[in-house]
Structure 1
Amino acid sequence: MRWTGEPPKASFPDLFAQSIQAAIQEALCSSSRLGSRSGRWRPDYVLARDWFLSSYPLLGALAASFRIVDDREAVRRTGIPVAAVNCQLRELYINADLRLNLEIWKFILAHEFLHAALRHDIRRQDRNPILWNVACDFVVNGWLLEMNLGIMPDFALHDIAFRGMSVESVYDQLCRDIRYYTTLDPKDLLYGDEAWWDTLEGGELDGYYRSALYQGLEYHTSQGRGFLPVGLVEEIYAVSRPPIPWDVELAKWFDEQFAPMEKHRSYARLSRRQSATPEIPRPAWRAEPDIERQRIFGVVLDTSGSMDRRLLAAVLGSIASYGHARDVSHVRVVFCDAVPYDQGIMHPEDIAGAVQVRGRGGTRLQPGIDLLEHDAAFPKNAPVLIITDGACDMLQLHGREHAYLVPWGKRLPFRAKGPVFKLK
């Protein structure tokens, strides 16, 4: 039994009513297990799956898309204690040796369907797989209890202290006691090949999961099929929308840092473009020189051997285009691996040609940050863009606007105060 926190309390009348209800359902199910004409017995987990198809629209489409694998030898080889889901193969593995009633199987199957629909396998990224699975179980089981969906088995993970928290937040809490929580491995979430999801087939399946859960939510709410926790509804809306590409997020960050330049009429440069009176000099549009010189940002670039060259090319190309589009013609560049290399002020389009991946091992970005912080010629309000693969030391920026560009699947070893854009 793996139970933490305070168990739900129930009065004697409630328990008595639940017992009567369970007895009636068991009697009805016993008569239906023989099937209609085939006379074939159907296990409770199959009946639970069919119940989702006919009576629970939130997870009905997902239940229809998964194939139940209950072969005893196959499940025993994988070491699955109760049930597990493979999101990539769309297979639901069931330990048929367990004798659980229909309501418990409803809880277990809903748990596995939410694992797949909420993309818990992809959202793990580079986190500890066991600890991530435990965090997902705490959150999902808490939602199912609030929904009163089936009966939670005694061996399920639940802690009321994690109520209302996201999976990522629960994971951060569990990291404080890794040794204990890794012993609670439920082994119910199987991880496939992450690169497969970038293929056409993987993209289609990922889109199916998103749309199936969102449409199920629409049917569920429109038909008034029962209470849904706020946290679950928010995650469904978040998952149903594809993530914003990193270059779009980066462009938005540039827009926030550099407002459009206001141009003024000036006779310093004359304009005779009016065809009706070409002989009359007129003022031309021009930007204020002082404002143009102040439009500068810093780039601290990790040039250690672990950085992907193709990724660097995509990032630097985006930086050059965004800088040109927003009238930012100056960039203060610092390359870092074991030591910083100050490249001075450059034009954005010249950065790519100056990059050299030195690969001296180790990455120390803080000296590059300090170089910009202590440079009197670098404006105090100029933002800094930090490009790294996450294998770096903890960084400290004293109130300066900054953002991070990190490859997909990598994480910073500290809690970032500025926005973090995932490159993919």
Structure 2
Amino acid sequence: MELAEKMKKARIQLILDHPFFASLALKLTYIEDKQTQTTIINGKCIKYNPDFIKELPIKQIATVLAHEVLHILSFHHMRRENRDKVLWNKATDYAINPLLIRSEFQLPDGALLDHRFDNMNAERIYSILMQEQPSDKQESSESQDYQGMGDVEDLPETESKQEVEAQIKQAMTQAAMIAKSQGNLPDYIERLVSETIKPKVSWREALQRFFSEITKDDYTWTKPSTRYLHNGLYLPSLETPFIGKVILIVDTSSSISNELINSFAAEVQEITSSFSIPLTIIYVDTKVQAIQEIEPDEIINLNPKGGGGTNFKPGFEFIDDHNLDPETVIYLTDGECYSFPTTPDYNVLWAQFGSFEFNPPFGEVIQVTD
């Protein structure tokens, strides 16, 4: 079969089985290039080695096209920065190939697949791969021979990232509408589109906003306002805003990693340090496991205790039983629990890790990601 015919049939295969990927693949330009080992994608054009394509069956050519589409949708050609090119290509492949498996694509021989990287983004995978590199190769892996299903080529510096990103989002939205109208839009693709078009607010920004909203301005009569004294008015002055006592309750069920707990707690501590207040941390699974006190200038180093199930009541009961009287309680949790206490009379922020549908009866919720 002629190469052009194979490429045409691969695109038809996508149209019949995967309309979302087909809609995007049909917008790309295809160029034969024998200097390319397998394929290269730069966001708008796929260069492919004809000898590589000739060896693949139609279904696997369709997989290669969908693979390149996912690179574009993930903006991998715009996110490498100063990372090693070869290792970045590996990380991006590890990130998207599990998604192809979920859509029942058939991966060609040599395609990278490691399920320990499932649900991780390319940056996190890259970090892990760097740590696993032999010490004499950590500086660069450019000389290593890696082909996979193709390379991701950086967006040319002459291109506007904002314009390219807008074009991709528009194409992604149109593709999703087409696939949905045919009743063939996988759930994970729908979520990917939703998160890309309407990205979640940074949890760090949400945390900062929460603290700024609950910060109080305190008035004192011991320092009268000089602004009104010349008029014979003795009025209280406004002191430096204060935030009150903060308690962090950490759900220590097995689904939350120590790395995430430390990252989140460090962010909370940075905020509380700016107000020079200590931070009380309560570790809870189905019961209170440990208490830790951290001073504003203390370097955070957490050692969570627990590892069982989840129950939201014990942490709040501990606060009441010991008369801790917080201004604010922040609860870091996966949200997989339906056991809630009665509504407390202080501010509560639920910082949820994971995708469990979480609708607590009180407090504000922010989504925390790795």
Report the TM-score range of the alignment, normalised by the length of the smaller protein.
Answer: 0.5 to 0.7
CA distance in 1, matches of 2:58, 2:162: 34
Tell me how far 1:382 sits from its aligned partner. Answer: 9.0
| Aligned match of 2:125 | 170
Asked if 1:207 corresponds to 2:170, the answer is no
Please list every run of 5 or more consecutive structure 1 residues that lacks an aligned counterpart in the other structure.
Answer: 1-29, 34-40, 273-278, 296-372, 384-395, 401-424
| Aligned match of 2:155 | 192
CA distance in 1, matches of 2:70, 2:111: 15
| Aligned match of 2:10 | 48
> Which of 11, 34, 44 does residue 76 from structure 1 map onto?
34
| Aligned match of 2:24 | 62
CA distance in 2, matches of 1:398, 1:103: 54
Equivalences for residues 352-367 of structure 1 within 5 A:
none
CA distance in 2, matches of 1:285, 1:235: 53
| Aligned match of 1:129 | 85
Cα gap change, 1:212/1:285 in structure 2, threshold over 3 Å: closer, same or farther? farther
Local SS of the residue matching 2:34: helix
CA distance in 1, matches of 2:28, 2:227: 70
CA distance in 2, matches of 1:243, 1:129: 28
- In 1, are the aligned partners of 2:40 and 2:152 still within 8 Å (CA)? yes
- In 2, are the aligned partners of 1:139 and 1:167 still within 8 Å (CA)? yes
- In 1, are the aligned partners of 2:34 and 2:50 still within 8 Å (CA)? no
| Aligned match of 1:398 | 299
- In 2, are the aligned partners of 1:84 and 1:189 still within 8 Å (CA)? yes
CA distance in 1, matches of 2:171, 2:204: 27
| Aligned match of 1:381 | 277
CA distance in 2, matches of 1:263, 1:163: 49
CA distance in 2, matches of 1:148, 1:226: 13
- In 2, are the aligned partners of 1:263 and 1:285 still within 8 Å (CA)? no
Tell me how far 1:122 sits from its aligned partner. Answer: 1.6
- In 2, are the aligned partners of 1:62 and 1:212 still within 8 Å (CA)? yes
CA distance in 1, matches of 2:298, 2:8: 57
| Aligned match of 2:51 | 97
Percentage of matched positions with identical amino acids: 19
Tell me how far 1:116 sits from its aligned partner. Answer: 1.1
Tell me how far 1:110 sits from its aligned partner. Answer: 0.4
| Aligned match of 2:194 | 237
What letter corresponds to residue 152 of structure 2 in structure 1?
Answer: L
CA distance in 2, matches of 1:155, 1:212: 30
Q: Deviation string for 1:154-188 (max 9, x for gaps)?
A: 12122233233332332222113335885435352
Tell me how far 1:86 sits from its aligned partner. Answer: 1.3
Asked if 1:147 corresponds to 2:43, the answer is no
What letter corresponds to residue 300 of structure 2 in structure 1?
Answer: G
Please list every run of 5 or more consecutive structure 2 residues that lacks an aligned counterpart in the other structure.
Answer: 244-269, 280-296, 302-370
Question: Cα RMSD over matched residues?
Answer: 4.1
CA distance in 2, matches of 1:270, 1:163: 62
What letter corresponds to residue 237 of structure 1 in structure 2?
Answer: S
Tell me how far 1:141 sits from its aligned partner. Answer: 1.6
Aligned positions, number = 242
What letter corresponds to residue 239 of structure 1 in structure 2?
Answer: T
**TM-score using structure 1 length:** 0.47
Task: Write 1 or 2 for the structure with the bigger share of helix.
Answer: 1
Tell me how far 1:120 sits from its aligned partner. Answer: 0.7
> Which of 179, 182, 185 does residue 223 from structure 1 map onto?
182
CA distance in 2, matches of 1:141, 1:251: 32
Q: Deviation string for 1:239-263 (max 9, x for gaps)?
A: 323687x9x9769626626744335
Q: Deviation string for 1:62-94 (max 9, x for gaps)?
A: 223211101xxxx223xx22211111xx11112
**TM-score using structure 2 length:** 0.53
- In 1, are the aligned partners of 2:221 and 2:236 still within 8 Å (CA)? yes
What letter corresponds to residue 399 of structure 1 in structure 2?
Answer: I
Q: Deviation string for 1:173-219 (max 9, x for gaps)?
A: 211333588543535211133x445x3xx422211112322442344
CA distance in 2, matches of 1:381, 1:218: 51
What letter corresponds to residue 166 of structure 2 in structure 1?
Answer: G
- Structure 1 or 2, whichever has the larger Rg, is 1
> Which of 50, 72, 77 does residue 116 from structure 1 map onto?
72
> Which of 156, 159, 169 does residue 111 from structure 2 map onto?
156
- In 1, are the aligned partners of 2:24 and 2:69 still within 8 Å (CA)? yes
- In 1, are the aligned partners of 2:21 and 2:66 still within 8 Å (CA)? yes
